[in-house]
Amino acid sequence: MANELTPFEEKYNATLQRYADLETTIKELEDTRKKVRKEIQEAMEFYNIRSFDNKILKLTLVAPSVSTTIDTSALRISDPDTYESLIARYPKKTERKQSLRVTVR
């Protein structure tokens, strides 16, 4: 199998390196965005601003909330008949396209 990858690696080594570099840059930018977002949220809370809109951004401070869902894993264990009945009556199927999973090392 290593022989099959050699031509691929030779041809696309620069592209693979560029991708790895982009992933690093994106991670750094996401970290920066997270810090800036937190700073904006804290400022909006301090000034009691719930919504803000200008030429650059529209911001809305969304109040915390709680949602309730069914823990299907627990239901499957505690009441398998009910679980099977619900799955049979209310199936939810999700199709996933082929994708590329990448781990940068």
Specify the pLDDT at position 4. Answer: 66
Contact criterion met (CB below 8 Å) for 92 and 99: no
Contact criterion met (CB below 8 Å) for 72 and 83: yes
Whether residue 104 is predicted with pLDDT greater than 80 in this model: the reply is: no
Whether residue 87 is predicted with pLDDT greater than 60 in this model: the reply is: yes
pLDDT digits (tens, 9 = 90+) for 14-69: 999 999 999 999 999 999 999 999 999 999 999 999 999 999 999 999 999 999 99
Domain boundaries, the chain: 2-89
> Which pTM was predicted?
0.69
Residues contacting residue 45 through CB under 8 Å, at least 6 positions apart? 61
Per residue, what are the HEC states of 45-63? Answer: HHCCCCEEECCCCEEECCC
Whether residue 102 is predicted with pLDDT greater than 90 in this model: the reply is: no
